[in-house]
Amino acid sequence: MSHDHISDAPSTAAIGGHPIHPMLIPFPIAFLTAPVVTDLAYWRLGDAFWARVSFWLLLAGLVTGAFAAVFGLIDFLTIRRARSLAAAWVHFLGNGLVLVLALASVIFRWHEPESVVISWGIVHSVVIALLLVVTGWLGGELSYRYKIGVASASRAEVTPAQADASRQVV
């Protein structure tokens, strides 16, 4: 099924036409998926360093994720078409769940990070990472398939050289 006929829905949270949410999301994704590795390192090696690294990664993921969520929420609330898509709702609610789980993990690890890794920390980290795979995929669908947050260059902004290059067949 082709989605070429879908018009762009530019981001309302943008700087110079560049949407802010996609610029920020790599940070929480990296911070919130890495604890899978560091929790497993703690389980295998028994070195408390890895449990502390997991704690700090989760805290950084929570802070950067909340910051990115503000701009995602602005787009979600101001782009009507986004709210009409099931993928957008799952992306929105799924990422909210990720932040709640990250907050819970930070709270439980606060005083003694190594005490919870083996009991439930590894499973919790895996669940967060798997949720991010799903919500990240859906975020890509929203941008690339449904053109949410996308602003194609108008014909007036395209130089003659760019127009000629786009007409050439490779």
pLDDT for residue 4: 55
Any bridge partners for residue 148, and if so which?
9
Is residue 8 situated within a structural domain?
Answer: no
pLDDT for residue 167: 47
In the chain, the number of structural domains is 1
Angle at 102 between CA 131 and CA 100, to 5 degrees: 80
Is residue 25 situated within a structural domain?
Answer: yes
80: closest CA among 4, 12, 153, 152? 12
pLDDT for residue 153: 62
pLDDT for residue 1: 45
Is residue 110 situated within a structural domain?
Answer: yes
Is residue 1 situated within a structural domain?
Answer: no
pLDDT for residue 75: 87
Helix (H, G, I), strand (E, B) or coil at 137: helix
Is residue 13 situated within a structural domain?
Answer: no
Is residue 4 situated within a structural domain?
Answer: no
Any bridge partners for residue 9, and if so which?
148
Tell me how crowded residue 158 is: count the other CB atoms within 10 A of its CB: 14
Write the single-letter amino acid at 79: I
pLDDT for residue 155: 38
Is residue 11 situated within a structural domain?
Answer: no
Is residue 46 situated within a structural domain?
Answer: yes
Which mean pLDDT values do the consecutive 10-residue runs of the chain (170 residues) have?
63 82 94 98 96 98 97 90 90 97 96 90 96 96 82 56 49
Count of all residues that appear for the chain in the document: 170
Tell me how crowded residue 44 is: count the other CB atoms within 10 A of its CB: 9
Q: Which domain holds residue 50?
A: 18-167
SS (H, E, C) 86-116: HHHHHHHHHHHHHHHHHHHHHHHHCCCCHHH
Give this prediction's pTM.
Answer: 0.84
